[in-house]
Chains A and B, each alone.
Chain A
Amino acid sequence: MIYLILFIYLIITFWGSLVFGRGKSDTAENYFLAGRSLKTLTLFFTILATNFSAFYFLGFAGEGYRIGYAYYTMIAMGTSFAGISMYALGTRIWRAGREQGFVTPSELILARSGSKPLAALFALVMVIYTLPYLALQIVGGGYILEKLTNGDISYGMAVIVLTIFTIVYVLIGGMQSVARTDVKQGTLAFLLMTLAVIIITSKLGGITHANKELFTIRPELFSPQGEGGFYTPQKWFSYTVFWVFCIPMFPQLFMRFYVARTSAHLKKSIILYAIAPLFVSILPVIIGVLGHLTFPDLKGNEADQILPMMLVEHTGEWIGALVMVGAIAAFMSTLDSQLLALSTILTRDFYLPVTGRSKGFKGEVFIGRVSVVLLSLIGLIIAFNPFDTIFDMGKIAFAGLSILFPSAMMYVLGKPLPPLFAIISIVTGEALLLLFYYGILPQAWLMGFESFIPILVICFLIVAVGGWRKRK
């Protein structure tokens, strides 16, 4: 049965990419940016589906299990607050892209700063830190498909099959196909997750009953600070503001700002995006928290598997398979966007300058397609040897990208900033991040905050000094 459902889903997605991509990927602008033609709803769904990934299905449920309902509030508030920075920068990025024909983030930075080294550094950081996030999607998809088939399809086979399938439909249709597929995949993922919550909670005696029962056993899961007082004031602040700086710096999201038909479409889609986490974030967290009633003693990374475990335990074969397909849809909708964004950056920010070819040359789309395959292979290699848990792989990728924010903000807002200061800000931030990640610098220096907060403060100070000097 599961194979039938999976087969139908893959066929529908593939057919959609053929229909939407046909004849619309002839030029670089059409292939990479869907001809800058997306309207509010498509844009909203593609932004949402791009952001809510395998991390949404597995990571949110896992953190709900480990921390409790506090995780819902933090993630819903944090990702919604990203709407502020998306709004402030997004409309300006859209206008610049429309007027000057930018396709990648670095093209905007190059035009505003006039510095090729800075633009190259910007592109390089985006590629390096998006790769672990890209690999995270493949890892998540592999876990889900392996669980879904009770191990009939091994993890290794699962990641290869899903990655090849994603490559094919990205190659066929580019952004047009990716965005339209995101609408279907996003809708499917959230509807099926809602269905999963309804069925699981009804099997546990209803959501109110299940929560009240759990409250009598584990009240700390209902506390605002979370299990074990996880959210100290410093940590809460860190995670609430983090997304504001991080999300607009995802290359796949930065490029979404270019693809809107008008700024009004972009603004409306951002407001819809700010509303969505309130509803969609709660779903996997509920399953994760209530997982304590069925699986009370999961330790460490085992909690990442709580969603598939609850589905297998409480839903029938049909429903379980359907929800898992929804999770695969979420993973693929992020992976396709990342592949397309990174391939665009590799083609336009590295291949063209190195070979001396001009933008818009005939083979640009072909090089973009080759880059998609190359990046997928790198993602697969990381997925076969994941260097950390899903949560921590995501955290290092997000933190690395957020360090670009202070410099990007100055150039997008048209503020004066010498490129040297932007380079110092980015290099210093990335170096400090790695030093804290590998434990070379003591955690005590962070005063309870997550490492990216003091690092971002330092980066902002560097660009502020640079801006001040330039004005003088």
Chain B
Amino acid sequence: MSSINNDVLPAQLFALDQAIWPMYLLMVSLSGRKTRQHSWNTLCRTNSTPPGISLEQILLIFNLYSMRPGNRVIPLFIILGAFLLSQSNVLFSFSFTPLLLGLPTWTYWFIGTHVLLIVGLYLLMFRFRHK
């Protein structure tokens, strides 16, 4: 335990919480209507919001991603995120030393971005499969 710096720990937890919450919301949004309703009820009952995110913000996300099927906010949000990340190589300095197969390190970052785009497109199709 001596290796843990107690001053840094809350910040780490905060960062972890911030990172996990969008994933949680994404998973809930992909689940069925009943699960989403249950999650929302639990959230309201316990008021267990993560640090830095207010209940109103979560309410906003849930309102954006309403219960009806066919809502496209989250898929479009993911696609927009993929596009914004695709522009990052000219804004930030990535390492370009050869990594796996000798390809530059940053190419793997973009492969991840690419996968995000595919996920967004897949969800878009999934949400509209009834049409």
Contact = CB atoms under 8 A, between A and B. Distances in A.
Partners in one complex: yes
A80 B89 contact: no
Interface string B85-96: 011011100101
Nearest to B111: A278
> Chain B, interface size: which category?
20 to 34
B89 A73 contact: yes
Interface stretch (A177-185, A206-214, A315-323, A340-348): A206-214
B101 A208 contact: yes
Q: Looking at chain B's contact residues, is the secondary structure mostly helix, strand, loop, or mixed?
A: helix
A215 B106 contact: no
Contacts of A113: none
B122 A224 contact: no
B14 interface: no
Contacts, number: 93
B79 interface: yes
A20 interface: no
A208 B98 contact: yes
DSSP class of A's interface residues: helix, strand, loop or mixed? helix
B129 A224 contact: no
Given A81-B83, A212-B98, A271-B122, A236 B89 contact: yes
A124 interface: no
A109 to B, nearest CB: 24
Interface of A: 69-70, 72-73, 76-77, 80-81, 83-84, 87, 207-212, 215, 219, 222-225, 231-233, 236-237, 240, 263-264, 267-268, 270-271, 274-275, 278, 282
Given A77-B110, A267-B125, 12 more contacts: A69-B107, A70-B89, A73-B89, A87-B121, A209-B102, A215-B102, A219-B96, A224-B90, A236-B90, A240-B86, A267-B128, A282-B103
Interface of B: 79, 83, 86-87, 89-91, 94, 96-98, 100-104, 106-107, 110-111, 113-114, 117-118, 121-122, 124-125, 128-129, 131
